[in-house]
């Protein structure tokens, strides 16, 4: 399968993409994660991207298109891939269809209020990048009994949890604006090509995943 997952910032694309990739043995390609890896390595691309990401702006189309084109040419994509966070503009979508076919585009729909709330609560491991829901942090609090300490460290690798630089409330609002102006037109783009299915992203992580599996299993 060659899939894309669309949705506003914080809709749960990354969370669901991990589950989909595991179930269908697909390469999970997150352009946000790829850019954050460049930032961590302090490459020229990473340094340029950091300024844009922290401001809630998109990285230029040509840079991202080249990055994705090279990535899906890798051997692990031969049996299928899931693009998470790409395409994000009509220009990116048009370019994508020049170098690959697509089987399906899943759009996750979540209202703005829920997104702002999720982003305020999101914590990410500073080392392995595992993302935590507020429920998971609360669960860690109860299980350990040493609430405030336990919830600040990653259960997978033990590194400290952090707030993403682009999750500041004012940046989140700007990212939503950018999404509506530049990415929302992709809903029509993929609908016109018969590829789009929308799921309600406002349920639990598992119930949203089940809705997506029901679509993809068909
Ligand atoms: P990217 O990392 O892709 O950010 P994004 O699209 O804004 O999406 P997020 O990662 O913020 O959220 P998500 O939808 O993956 O939600 P998540 O699963 O984490 O990109 C970052 C930046 O890189 C962009 O702003 C841009 O600058 C640049 N960039 C990337 N790709 C680009 C491109 N193609 N072109 C140009 N620039 C590009 O969930 C969010 C939170 O909610 C988490 O805490 C999670 O645990 C929780 N959660 C998830 N599902 C649920 C649920 N059902 N119920 C309750 N909580 C939930």
122 is catalytic: yes
Provide the whole-model pTM. Answer: 0.92
Q: How far does the centroid of ligand 1 lie from the alpha carbon of residue 35, in Å?
A: 13
Nearest to 162 by CA among 48, 40, 28: 40
Could you list the beta-strand ranges (E) of the chain.
2-6, 27-30, 81-84, 104-109, 123-125, 131-132, 161-162, 196-200
Q: How far does the centroid of ligand 1 lie from the alpha carbon of residue 108, in Å?
A: 11
Which is higher by pLDDT, 148 or 16?
16
**pLDDT tens column, 131-150:** 887 777 765 554 444 444 44
Of the residues 36, 50, 88, 123, only one is catalytic, namely: 88
Q: What are phi and psi of 156, to 5 degrees?
A: -85, -45
118 is catalytic: no
Q: Distance between CA 11 and CA 111 in Å, rounded?
A: 9
Decide: helix, strand or coil at residue 131: strand
Give the pLDDT score at 139: 57
Q: Is the pLDDT of residue 11 over 90?
A: yes
50 is catalytic: no
| Residues 132 and 122: beta-carbon distance below 8 Å | yes
Strands 131-132 and 123-125, by their bridges, are antiparallel
| Residues 26 and 2: beta-carbon distance below 8 Å | no
164 is catalytic: yes
218 is catalytic: no
Banded model confidence at residue 151, pLDDT cuts 50, 70, 90: low
Nearest to 68 by CA among 33, 21, 19, 42: 33
Of the residues 50, 118, 122, 129, only one is catalytic, namely: 122
Mean of per-residue pLDDT scores for the chain:
91
What is the strand order of the sheet 161-162 is part of? 131-132, 123-125, 161-162
**pLDDT tens column, 177-204:** 999 999 999 999 999 999 999 999 999 9
Please choose from 17, 28, 31 the residue to mutate so as to test ligand 1's pocket, defined by most ligand atoms within 8 A of CB.
31
**pLDDT tens column, 26-58:** 999 999 999 999 999 999 999 999 999 999 999
Q: What is the dihedral of CA 33, 35, 40, 43, to 10 degrees?
A: 150
Q: How far does the centroid of ligand 1 lie from the alpha carbon of residue 36, in Å?
A: 12
Q: Distance between CA 29 and CA 82 in Å, rounded?
A: 6
Q: Distance between CA 36 and CA 114 in Å, rounded?
A: 24
Ligand 1 near 108 CB (within 6 A): no
Mean pLDDT of the region 165-174 = 90
Ligand 1 near 8 CB (within 6 A): no
Q: How far does the centroid of ligand 1 lie from the alpha carbon of residue 150, in Å?
A: 24
């Amino acid at each position: 399968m060659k899939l894309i997952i669309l949705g506003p910032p914080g809709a749960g694309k990354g969370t669901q993409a991990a589950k989909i990739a595991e179930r269908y043995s697909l390469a999970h390609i997150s352009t946000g994660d790829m850019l954050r890896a460049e930032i961590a390595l302090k490459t020229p691309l990473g340094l340029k991207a950091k300024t844009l990401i922290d401001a809630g702006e998109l990285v230029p189309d040509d840079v991202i298109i080249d990055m994705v084109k090279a990535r899906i040419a890798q051997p692990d994509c031969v049996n299928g891939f899931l693009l998470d966070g790409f395409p994000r503009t009509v220009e990116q979508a048009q370019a994508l269809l020049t170098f690959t076919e697509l089987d399906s585009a899943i759009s996750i729909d979540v209202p703005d209020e829920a997104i702002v709330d999720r982003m305020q609560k999101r914590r990410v491991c500073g080392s392995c990048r595992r993302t935590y829901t507020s429920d998971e942090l609360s669960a860690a609090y109860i299980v350990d009994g040493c609430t405030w300490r336990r919830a600040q460290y990653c259960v997978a690798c033990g590194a400290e949890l952090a707030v993403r630089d682009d999750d500041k409330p004012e940046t989140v609002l700007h990212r939503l604006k950018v999404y509506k102006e530049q990415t929302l037109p992709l809903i029509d783009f993929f609908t016109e090509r018969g590829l789009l299915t929308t799921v309600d992203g406002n349920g639990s992580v598992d119930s949203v995943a089940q809705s997506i599996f029901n679509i993809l299993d068909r």
